Amino acid sequence: MSSKVAGLGALIALLLITVYSAAFTVGEAEQAFIIQFGQLKDEAITTPGLHWKWPFVQELRRLDRRLLTWEGDVEQIPTLGREFILMDATVHYRIANPRLFLESVRDERGARSRIDDILNAVVRDKVSGAKLEEIIRSSDWQVHAHAMEDGIVTERDAAMDLAPRRGRQELEREILEAAQAHVPSYGIELQDVHIKRVNYIDSVRQQVESRIIAERQSIAERFRSEGRGRSEEILGEMQKELQAIRSEAARRAEEIRGAADAQVTQIYGRAYSQDAEFYGFLKTLEAYRQTVGANTSLMFSADSDFYRHLASVRGK
């Protein structure tokens, strides 16, 4: 009895193993091939759901139907102007011919190896024939006037082609077209190429940083010079306005002083016309006050008007 149970259990286990080996599912993002004795059998299975194969005789090879990504290594590449830069790119591709893909590269690791060889060579060839500004700028790049005025862009930067013959997008398109010519034999279709990063090597970066610092210092000095010039201009205008104010004040003072002198003269005239002798006497006293001091010695003739009042006082 126990042997029958054991035999039944072994049969059920063998059946389960057989079913497990024969049944498989294909997801919506997958495509599968059945391989029998090392050879591809039939076409790719692309219909999602449950499928069957001969157990133990046939094996399954799955491939992704979605876009796949290739990440390139950082490469040191010289540009057309002999600037050495560090650059890496990324590519999106898909398996267009799964049978050819399996026959040529077998799996995604093999595909990445082929893409490494192709893209590295194409990127190096295209980048070494491009100017630095074509790699980092778009074809419609241009300098705005306010950027020059504010010092955001230097004259040297602006001297580089404002509208490069080909920009970064055009360079990426050329790399894609050149690489696409080599990958169909592997059952691969490239969708796009993007330059992820562009940077100088360490030795060149230090030189570039020094140049940038020097340019920014030059811009700062230009702003300082313009500020000093504007300051001198403002001070000159202020001195001019101050001189005009002083001149106007002096002219006004002279007018007021002239009017006062004229009024004094009129008063003196009216006083003289009322009593000429008394007026002469007051003027003589003013003259005495201005000329005679504590230790003053005067010499007069006996008939001078200046002595006449002194003599009259002495006689009294």
**Which residue matches tokens 């004040």?**
249
**Domain edges within the chain:** 2-64, 68-200, 279-316
Q: In the prediction, which pLDDT does 67 show?
A: 92
276-291 and 202-274 helices, crossing angle to 10°: 130
Dist. CA 227–CA 165, nearest whole Å: 39
Specify the pTM.
Answer: 0.59
**Which residue matches tokens 């082929």?**
114
Q: For residue 70, count other CB atoms closer than 10 A to its CB.
A: 20
Q: In the prediction, which pLDDT does 174 show?
A: 93
Q: For residue 12, count other CB atoms closer than 10 A to its CB.
A: 10
Q: In the prediction, which pLDDT does 315 show?
A: 47
DSSP 8-state code for residue 302: T
Q: In the prediction, which pLDDT does 161 show?
A: 44
Beta-bridge mates of residue 58: 36
Question: At 234, which amino acid appears?
Answer: I
Of 118, 151, 28, 130, nearest in space to 85 by CA: 130
The CATH number assigned to the domain with range 68-200 reads 3.30.479.30
Question: Mean pLDDT, consecutive 10-residue segments, the chain of 316 residues?
Answer: 72 78 85 82 82 82 90 88 88 91 88 92 91 78 54 51 70 93 93 90 80 88 91 92 92 90 80 70 70 66 61 53
Q: In the prediction, which pLDDT does 296 show?
A: 67
Q: In the prediction, which pLDDT does 299 show?
A: 67
Q: In the prediction, which pLDDT does 163 show?
A: 53
Alpha helices, H only, the chain = 2-22, 98-104, 108-128, 132-136, 145-149, 155-159, 168-180, 202-274, 276-291, 305-315
DSSP 8-state code for residue 187: T
Q: In the prediction, which pLDDT does 69 show?
A: 93
